[in-house]
């Protein structure tokens, strides 16, 4: 799927209603009501808040090992898109290591499934593949296919024993196409507070390039209707931006909402810094399907942020550029542009002016 920052659907999803004509003769018994389809967009509401977790990690999965490492973790989870997504931050300490990570969970209302994306603070990159699944009968199961020690395996994430004050989590691997499963990460989680830990900028070992964007913004948007078509029709939108730190400032999460001529748009951007590569990655998704694609990569120089990736658009491979400029304490400017000729020429298609909300 196209993951240029703002490729939201321009037309709201259509709802088709078929009304059958009334029969001349009434049946003796009414037809049974259709089974209701489960809407799972609030299935993860139980995780919002701050938690304490006791974790057991299998040292060498799929080797026959029975050696486990135990540790304790703090887990904080906040809502995104009013609950149709959430961001979980975990800080785990064991005798072997200290780990900071996050899971971004986004709901696809069409598939009625959740996608779970994971990142470790050390490389600062959102991983792929992605676990996909849903909740049934009070238990959530999510699966993906990964490469582990040179072999392709199945991975399962399971949430169970859910109460208002606790739940159980288990990660398991299968090397035999799901016939047998070996658990390698087991966590028992108990609630500490109903509210998540407040975002902060307390970490000292971090890059500060995106600090200017932290806060609450009013945003004016100009959007090109049909990029790379010769079209010059622009539409005007108004909205808000809410940008908060993650990992105490080593990254940030940006939520946007816009209203305009064709409806309501919601998007989220997860910005993570890779200290070794000295690069930022920006991972974009919209609430229409909750899918994150190829990250756009770059950094800041002389007060300007430049980010680039290569994506598919209308069946063609194109270059996509995101720029942040005109940065002041209370305003900034953003431009997305496409290039259909490998970067020789660029056509802007998404322009945002940020003004800090007082």
Q: Which residue has tokens 């945003």?
A: 219
Q: Are 5 and 314 in contact (CB under 8 A)?
A: no
Mean pLDDT for 206-218 is 97
Find, among 325, 332, 316, the residue nearest to 298 by Cα.
325
User: In terms of pTM, does the model score above 0.85?
Assistant: yes
Whether 53 and 76 have beta carbons less than 8 Å apart is answered as: no
pLDDT at 16: 24
Give all domains of the chain, ordered by start, each with its CATH number. Answer: 46-193 (2.40.128.20), 211-356 (2.40.128.20)
CA torsion sign for 277, 280, 285, 290 is: positive
How far are the Cα atoms of 41, 88, 289, 310, 321 from residue 278, in angstroms, in the given order?
A: 36, 24, 31, 20, 19
Q: What is the pLDDT of residues 302-358, one digit of tens each?
A: 999 999 999 999 999 999 999 999 999 999 999 999 999 999 999 999 999 999 998
Reference 346, options 4, 1, 3; nearest CA is 4
> How far is it, in rounded angstroms, from Cα 205 to Cα 197?
20
- DSSP letters spanning 93-109: E-SS-EEEEEEEEEEET
> What pLDDT digit, counting tens, does each position of 15-32 carry?
222 223 333 323 344 444
- Provide the pLDDT for residue 129: 79
């Amino acid at each position: 799927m196209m993951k240029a920052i703002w490729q939201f659907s321009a037309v709201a999803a259509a709802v088709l209603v078929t009304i059958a004509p009334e029969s001349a003769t009434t049946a003796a018994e009414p037809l049974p009501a259709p089974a209701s389809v489960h809407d799972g967009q609030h299935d993860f509401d139980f995780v919002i808040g701050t938690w304490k977790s006791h974790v057991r990690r299998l040292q060498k999965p799929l080797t026959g090992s029975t050696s486990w490492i135990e540790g304790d973790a703090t887990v904080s989870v906040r809502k995104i898109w009013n609950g149709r997504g959430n961001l979980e931050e975990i800080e785990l300490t064991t005798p072997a290591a200290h780990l900071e990570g996050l899971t971004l969970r986004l709901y696809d209302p069409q598939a009625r499934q959740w996608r779970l994306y994971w990142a470790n603070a050390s490389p600062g990159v959102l991983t792929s593949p992605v676990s996909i699944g849903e909740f049934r009968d009070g238990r959530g199961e999510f699966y993906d296919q990964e490469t582990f020690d040179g072999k392709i395996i199945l991975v399962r994430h399971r949430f169970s024993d859910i109460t208002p004050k606790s739940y159980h989590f288990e990660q398991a691997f299968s090397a035999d196409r799901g016939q047998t499963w070996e658990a390698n990460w087991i966590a028992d989680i108990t609630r500490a507070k109903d509210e998540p830990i407040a975002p902060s900028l307390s970490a000292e070992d971090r890059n500060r390039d995106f600090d200017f964007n932290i806060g609450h913004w009013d945003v004016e948007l100009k959007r090109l209707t049909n990029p790379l078509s010769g079209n010059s029709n622009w539409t005007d939108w108004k909205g808000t931006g809410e940008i908060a730190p993650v990992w105490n400032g080593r990254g940030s999460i940006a939520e946007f909402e816009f209203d305009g001529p064709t409806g309501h748009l919601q998007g989220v951007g997860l910005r993570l810094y890779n200290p070794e590569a000295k690069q930022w990655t920006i991972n974009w998704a919209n609430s229409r399907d909750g899918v994150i694609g190829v990250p756009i990569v770059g950094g800041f120089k002389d007060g300007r942020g430049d980010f680039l990736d290569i994506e598919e658009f209308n069946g063609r491979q194109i270059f996509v550029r995101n720029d942040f400029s005109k940065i002041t304490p209370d305003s900034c400017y953003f431009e997305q542009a496409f290039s259909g000729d490998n970067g020789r020429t660029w056509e802007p298609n998404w322009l945002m002016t940020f003004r800090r909300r007082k």
